Amino acid sequence: MLTKYRGELLLALGALFFSANGTVSKWVLESGMPPWRLTEIRSTGAFIVLFTIALIRTGNPLRAKLNEIPKLLLFGIIGFAGVQTTYFYSIQRLPVSIALIIEFTSPLWIALWLRFVRKRAVAKTMWIGLTFAFVGLILLAQVWKGLTLNGLGLLGALASAFALTVYFLQSKGMSATRTSSEILTWGLGVTALFYALIMPWWSFPVHNLTKQVELLGRFHGHHAPGWLLVLSVIIFGTVIPYSCVMAGIIHTTASTGSVIGMLEPVLAGGFAWILLGERFNLIQLIGAVVVLAGIAVADRASATTE
């Protein structure tokens, strides 16, 4: 039981750091850094940090048997590069709120996978909790204010949800034979290689790292070096949250990981409220409460589904 609670705490911490990173990433993106380039330097920097730490502590984290390599490459391509690439593709064609809601349907796909493919029993309370959480996300995002469903954008968002599902399921599956640092290093390494191939480093906009970035919201009028903000995205927005989430999944289940991951939009809204001066209206506050209630119900049921 203590292991389960520890895993849930790590998952919640991961969601907290991912959410806080949204504000810092927005400052970087608003300064002119292309989103694809931020993903590239974020993934590459995190890979270097994790590889170095793992190399010092336990030896080469990339060592693998020949028959393991295809699975690890698939995990990196779909579970890491796939999630980020399809998400950016979808938000170019859909409102961000709608894209996020579709992406966070991953707990539903995991539950369906366990029920109809793995033939596992899924508690009725899981479906009730997921329903509450999705309704809460809809209220939180107020999708009716920007309901424009571009066909390609919708496909991109669904692809992101499926990729996120693969990430959670494969993370749990590989944890039986590999440490969390090895899994993360492989995933981020494959992502870094993928972006380096499609966007060579010699064309990277280095000027975005040397410029002084104006901070938005409550810090209006203040500036920070671009490299410092990017370093924050790498350490506090990638290395720490991914490590927390991976360790959390190992101590719980893929279902629990995906359900607690739904905290991200709620927490991100909280950080935007505090740091950017954005405000929740009454409907959004109700939505946040409904999301939290749904997560609590679904989380209690998720422990019995795997």
Stated length of the chain:
306
The reported pLDDT for the residue numbered 148 is: 55
Q: What's residue 26's pLDDT? A: 86
Calculate ∠ Cα 57-59-60, nearest 5°: 130
Cβ neighbours around 272 below 10 Å, total: 18
Q: pLDDT digits over 125-158, tens only?
A: 899 999 999 898 888 877 777 655 677 888 888 9
C-alpha span between 133 and 150 (Å, rounded): 24
Instruction: Report the C-alpha gap between 18 and 289 in whole angstroms.
Output: 20
How far apart (Å, rounded) are the C-alpha atoms in residues 191 and 213? 27
CA angle 179, 182, 186 (to 5 degrees): 145
- Cα separation of 239 and 204, whole Å? 22
Cβ(263)–Cβ(217) below 8 Å? no
Name the residue among 53, 24, 50 with its Cα closest to residue 38: 24
9-35 confidence digits (pLDDT tens): 999 999 999 989 988 988 998 899 988
User: How far apart are alpha carbons 261 and 256 in whole angstroms?
Assistant: 8
**Chain centroid offset of residue 299 CA:** 18
Least Cα distance to 160 among 89, 265, 71 occurs for 89
Q: So what's the pLDDT on residue 304?
A: 59
With a cut of 70, list the residues of the chain below it in pLDDT: 1-2, 95, 97, 146-149, 303-306
Q: What pLDDT score does 269 carry?
A: 82
Query: What is the pLDDT, as a whole number, of residue 149?
Result: 61
Predicted pLDDT of residue 234: 96
Rg over alpha carbons for the chain, rounded to the nearest Å, is 19
